[in-house]
């Protein structure tokens, strides 16, 4: 009778956390808010996000993976904290909507005539280029180039660019400090065996003083899912230890995960499997698993669980790829999957990746699939 009651407890706990969409949505709304300024390099956005996640770890009851939750490191980055003014043919453009500046660009203050290079590119001086784009996509640079390039949204600007006026400020930070946030739940039977769940919490930050990139799907959704899983496992300790890492500086070139792999807080050979969550806020068109072909047995187990419970409409197999924080673990021989969802809004690395546009279509089912997969790994 006691054993039956224990299983009823686990069942209720599992469903309680699996259905806790309110908690997950709240995290996404918070991390994408103006206060966190795109979780990047201006207005202390990344630091505020790190403090928020560290506080969440403490409230959940995770143990620090090392002597503290934060694993700090430094790297160079080009930022745009101030002026971000561009006018074409005398018309001021809206940052993020009408134009973006390439991330490695130096600042510039200039008014000049434009010379057409081809149908999509115009030049003001040898070091100042204007390009017309179908979609504005931003990123992060760790160096400053010699060329200032501004991308214009073709849909919002149909006139021929003849004259430009720009006043843009950049600030290069040679030693920007960031931190990975690392915690764990101790295993009840095999504490030295570790299953790891990871997600990057950084995004692109701000472009100028008034425009920021919220990063709802990329990757507030991944962090929210990780924290929901942390809540579940803290309330339901497993035979294996379960680790949780929220990486910084993924958008700057997977720098946080690279630093952890070279300075591990746990022996890498103790990690029996790692699941990296990035872009998991949709799912109506299924999910894709990077490294599926590298670990066919594990991929078969994942499909076995899904086929039994019909969580996800389609699980796509993909090979090895250096496209998220799983990669350096893979290179060190740690078995890893990188999971991302498909379908839904197409916003990516732009100002439209907002929480109100994110459906979380398969959040609950992905949660259950991950818990089921981890359970299978511990059998």
For residue range 266-290, list pLDDT tens digits in order.
999 999 999 999 999 999 999 999 9
Residue 110 gets the label, from left (phi > 0), alpha (psi -120 to 50) or beta, of: beta
DSSP per-residue codes, 212-228: B---IIIIIHHHHHHHH
| In 236-319, alpha helices (H) | 255-262, 296-309
Model confidence over 186-244: pLDDT tens digits? 999 999 999 999 999 999 999 999 999 999 999 999 999 999 999 999 999 999 999 99
Higher pLDDT, 180 or 5: 180
Q: Quick one: average pLDDT of 164-184?
A: 98
Two tokens, residue 62? 């995770």
Confidence of residue 90 (pLDDT cuts 50, 70, 90): very high
**Cα torsion 111, 112, 116, 118: sign:** negative
**What pLDDT, on the 0 to 100 scale, is given for residue 14?**
52
Using only the alpha carbons of the chain, give its radius of gyration: 22
Nearest to 89 by CA among 159, 184, 191, 19: 159
How much is the pLDDT for 6? 38
**d(Cα 170, Cα 42) in Å, to the nearest integer?**
11
Contact 106, 154 (CB under 8 A): no
Residue 2, pLDDT > 60, answer no
> How far is 121 from 118, CA to CA, in rounded Å?
5
Q: Coil, strand, or helix at residue 362?
A: coil
In DSSP notation, 43-82 reads: TTHHHHHHHHHHHHHHHHTPEESSSSSEEEEEEEEEEB-S
Cα separation, 8 vs 52, in Å, equals 33
Q: Residue 20 has what pLDDT? A: 72
pTM over 0.85: yes
pLDDT number for residue 4: 43
Q: How confident is the model at residue 7 (pLDDT cuts 50, 70, 90)?
A: very low
DSSP 193-254: EEEEEEEE-----BBSSS-B---IIIIIHHHHHHHHHHHHHHHS--SEEEEEEEES-STTTS
Confidence of residue 1 (pLDDT cuts 50, 70, 90): very low
245, 229 contact by CB (below 8 A) = no
pLDDT of residue 11: 53
Per-residue pLDDT reduced to its tens digit, 13-64: 455 554 578 899 999 999 999 999 999 999 999 999 999 999 999 999 999 9
**How far, rounded to the nearest angstrom, does the alpha carbon of residue 134 sit from its chain's CA centroid?**
24
User: 138-171 pLDDT, tens per residue?
Assistant: 999 999 999 999 999 999 888 899 999 999 999 9
- 292-333 tens-digit pLDDT: 999 999 999 999 999 999 999 999 999 999 999 999 999 999
* pLDDT for residue 89 is more than 50: yes
d(CA 132, CA 150): 9
Does the structure show a pLDDT above 50 at 106? yes
Mean pLDDT for the stretch of residues 335-354: 96
Percent of the chain at pLDDT > 70 equals: 95
In a 13 Å sphere around the CA of 261, the CA atoms on its Cβ side amount to: 17
Report the C-alpha dihedral over residues 57, 27, 228, 340, rounded to 10 degrees. -120
- Residue labelled with tokens 């981890």: 374
Q: How confident is the model at residue 9 (pLDDT cuts 50, 70, 90)?
A: very low
pLDDT category of residue 5 using cuts at 50, 70 and 90? very low
């Amino acid at each position: 009778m006691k054993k039956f009651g224990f299983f009823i407890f686990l069942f209720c706990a599992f469903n309680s956390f699996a259905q806790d969409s309110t908690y997950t949505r709240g995290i996404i709304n918070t991390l994408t808010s103006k206060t966190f300024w795109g979780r990047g390099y201006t207005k202390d956005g990344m630091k505020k996000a790190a403090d928020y996640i560290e506080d969440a770890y403490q409230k959940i009851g995770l143990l620090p993976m090392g002597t503290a939750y934060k694993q700090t490191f430094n790297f160079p980055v080009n930022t745009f904290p101030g002026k971000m003014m561009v006018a074409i043919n005398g018309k001021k453009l809206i940052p993020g909507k009408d134009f973006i500046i390439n991330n490695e660009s130096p600042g510039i203050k200039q008014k000049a005539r434009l010379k057409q290079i081809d149908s999509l590119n115009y030049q003001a001086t040898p070091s100042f280029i204007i390009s017309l784009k179908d979609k504005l996509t931003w990123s992060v640079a760790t160096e400053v180039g010699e060329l200032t390039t501004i991308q214009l949204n073709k849909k919002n600007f149909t006139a021929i660019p003849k004259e430009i006026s720009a006043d843009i400020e950049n600030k290069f930070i040679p030693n920007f400090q960031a931190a990975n946030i690392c915690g764990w739940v101790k295993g009840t039977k095999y504490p030295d065996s570790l299953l790891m769940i990871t997600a990057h919490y950084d995004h692109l930050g701000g472009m100028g003083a008034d425009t920021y990139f919220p990063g709802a799907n990329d990757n507030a959704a991944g962090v929210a899912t990780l924290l929901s899983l942390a809540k579940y496992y803290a309330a339901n300790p497993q035979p294996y230890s379960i680790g949780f890492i929220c990486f910084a500086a993924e958008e700057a070139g997977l720098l946080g995960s690279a630093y952890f792999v070279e300075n591990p807080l746990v022996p890498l050979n103790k990690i029996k499997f790692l699941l990296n969550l990035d872009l998991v806020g949709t799912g109506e068109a299924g999910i894709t698993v990077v490294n599926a072909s590298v670990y066919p047995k594990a991929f078969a187990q994942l499909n076995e669980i899904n086929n039994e419970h019909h969580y996800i409409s389609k699980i796509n197999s993909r090979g090895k790829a250096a496209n998220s924080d799983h990669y350096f673990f893979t290179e060190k021989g740690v078995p890893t999957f990188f999971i991302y969802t498909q379908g839904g809004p197409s916003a990516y690395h732009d100002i439209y990746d907002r929480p109100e546009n994110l459906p979380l279509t398969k959040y609950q089912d992905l949660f259950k699939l991950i818990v089921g997969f981890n359970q299978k790994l511990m059998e």
